[in-house]
């Protein structure tokens, strides 16, 4: 695998900075599982007399966009336009999610209500930078055929005005095999690219024929279907994993993200390449994958080379890991992060 040299990385950074204007106003359609993130912030000063657990004195409450909604939010914060198609329940969390989308520049008109499920809602209790506990309110199940048809209708109403499509799979049930394959086919009918952020529990066949699949390293090993014990025995195992995924999905491109160790790119018949990241202080990795995906897709859909798009996305993800919680990267922050 070819590792980009410092000179090559700096050239990519320079190209990314000079090309930021190309992503301005670009429209991207995001389809997938959406959620509301709630943060309860407080201090721990004592142990409960009722049980050996910390007592958190809550000082503030904050709502943030979660799951695929965070991808759409990041697209907007970078100067693009993100259209979000997702499914919510008929509850207060859905109202809070819709209001937060509008507040962050993303239309809430493409949210679809499913009366049989709650809106995915994660509540994190925080003391300083530390998670004390998390509560998840959700129900994982596939959509009815009628609701899937509504998703397709929403897709048809938006796709012609967009540069490309993102399918964000968090395994909550919005993206079935039939729906994934329908959306991939319809995107290609429009002569546009579709990128998939997979989930580790979803069968890899769901993602057949996507233009690019972006798992993290752990997801890639699981999705490959290879024997994990044997893979650990040799250093070139990532190449075997990538080959297996591409063979099973016929994906033209594959990016495997590896946190602070950078990303590996498998594109067409080119030699695989590895893009390293700059060292940064990490406070919280929540949402970093969403930021990476949003930034990469905006750049790639706008015509930037895949390695340049990957370097731009690395820089944006590096910004958000220095923040607490799921917080987007702004265009100005990205400019600073791309400085040589």
**What is the chain's Cα-based Rg?**
20
pLDDT at res. 234: 65
How far apart CA 92 and CA 10 sit, in angstroms, is 47
Residue 155 reports pLDDT greater than 70: yes
- Phi, psi of 257, deg, nearest 5: -85, 145
How far apart CA 32 and CA 174 sit, in angstroms, is 6
Residues near 81 by Cβ (< 8 Å), separated by ≥ 6?
Answer: 25, 26, 27, 28, 75
Segment 27-38 mean pLDDT: 97
pLDDT bucket at 163, cuts 50 / 70 / 90: very high
pLDDT bucket at 316, cuts 50 / 70 / 90: very high
Measured CA to CA in angstroms, residue 321 lies from 281, 289, 329 at distances of 8, 10, 10
Neighbour tally for 99: CB within 10 Å:
12
Segment 284-307 mean pLDDT: 88
pLDDT at res. 321: 81
Residue 328 reports pLDDT greater than 60: yes
* Strand stretches in the chain, DSSP E: 2-3, 27-32, 34-47, 54-67, 81-88, 111-113, 121-127, 130-137, 164-168, 193-197, 212-213, 253-257, 263-267, 273-275
Segment 244-260 mean pLDDT: 94
pLDDT at res. 255: 97
Residue 235 reports pLDDT greater than 80: no
Residue 201 reports pLDDT greater than 70: yes
How far apart CA 273 and CA 72 sit, in angstroms, is 28
Q: Are 133 and 99 in contact (CB under 8 A)?
A: no
pLDDT bucket at 72, cuts 50 / 70 / 90: very high
Segment 48-73 mean pLDDT: 93
pLDDT by residue (tens digit) across 205-228?
999 999 999 999 999 999 999 887
- In the chain the domains, ranked by start, together with CATH numbers, are 2-337 (3.40.1190.20)
Residue 152 reports pLDDT greater than 80: yes
pLDDT at res. 324: 66
Q: Which residue has the tokens 């503030």?
A: 60
**Percentage of residues of the chain with pLDDT beyond 70:** 94
- Phi, psi of 286, deg, nearest 5: -55, 125
pLDDT at res. 88: 97
pLDDT at res. 168: 97
Neighbour tally for 127: CB within 10 Å:
18
Residues near 252 by Cβ (< 8 Å), separated by ≥ 6?
Answer: 211, 212, 267, 268
For residue 93, give the DSSP letter: H
pLDDT by residue (tens digit) across 104-117?
999 999 999 999 99
Query: Measured over all CA atoms, what is the biggest interatomic distance in the chain, rounded to whole angstroms?
Result: 64
Q: Which residue has the tokens 């999905």?
A: 249
Measured CA to CA in angstroms, residue 308 lies from 5, 24, 71, 286 at distances of 13, 16, 20, 24
Q: Which residue has the tokens 């609701």?
A: 147
Active site residues: 290
* Structure token pair of residue 257: 């993200």
């Amino acid at each position: 695998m070819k590792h980009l040299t410092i000179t090559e990385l700096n050239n990519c950074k320079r190209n990314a900075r000079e090309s930021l204007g190309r992503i301005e106003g670009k429209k991207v359609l995001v389809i997938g599982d959406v959620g509301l993130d709630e943060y309860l912030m407080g201090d721990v000063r004592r142990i409960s007399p009722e049980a050996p657990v910390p007592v958190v004195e809550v000082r503030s409450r904050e709502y943030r966009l979660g799951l695929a909604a965070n991808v759409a939010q990041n697209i907007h914060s970078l100067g693009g336009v993100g259209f979000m198609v997702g499914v919510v329940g008929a509850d207060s969390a859905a109202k809070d999610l819709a209001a937060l989308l509008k507040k962050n520049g993303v239309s809430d008109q493409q949210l679809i209500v499913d009366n049989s499920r709650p809106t995915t809602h994660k509540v994190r209790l925080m003391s300083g930078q530390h998670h004390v506990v998390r509560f998840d309110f959700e129900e994982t199940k596939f959509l009815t055929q009628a609701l899937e048809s509504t998703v397709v209708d929403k897709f048809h109403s938006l796709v012609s005005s967009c540069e490309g499509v993102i399918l964000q799979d968090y395994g909550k049930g919005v993206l079935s095999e039939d729906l994934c394959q329908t959306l991939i086919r319809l995107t290609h009918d429009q002569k546009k690219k579709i990128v998939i952020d997979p989930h580790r529990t979803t069968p890899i066949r769901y993602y057949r024929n996507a233009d690019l699949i972006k798992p993290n390293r752990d997801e890639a090993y699981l999705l490959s279907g290879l024997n994990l014990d044997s893979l650990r025995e040799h250093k070139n195992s990532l190449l075997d994993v990538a080959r297996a995924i591409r063979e099973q999905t016929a994906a033209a491109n594959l990016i495997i993200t590896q946190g602070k160790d950078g990303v590996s790119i498998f594109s067409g018949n080119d030699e695989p390449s590895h893009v390293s990241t700059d060292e940064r202080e990490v406070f919280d990795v929540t949402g970093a994958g969403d930021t990476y995906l949003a930034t990469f897709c905006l750049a790639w859909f706008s015509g930037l080379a895949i390695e340049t798009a990957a370097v731009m996305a690395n820089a944006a993800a590096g910004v958000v890991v220095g923040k607490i919680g799921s917080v987007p990267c702004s265009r100005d922050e990205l400019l600073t992060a791309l400085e040589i």
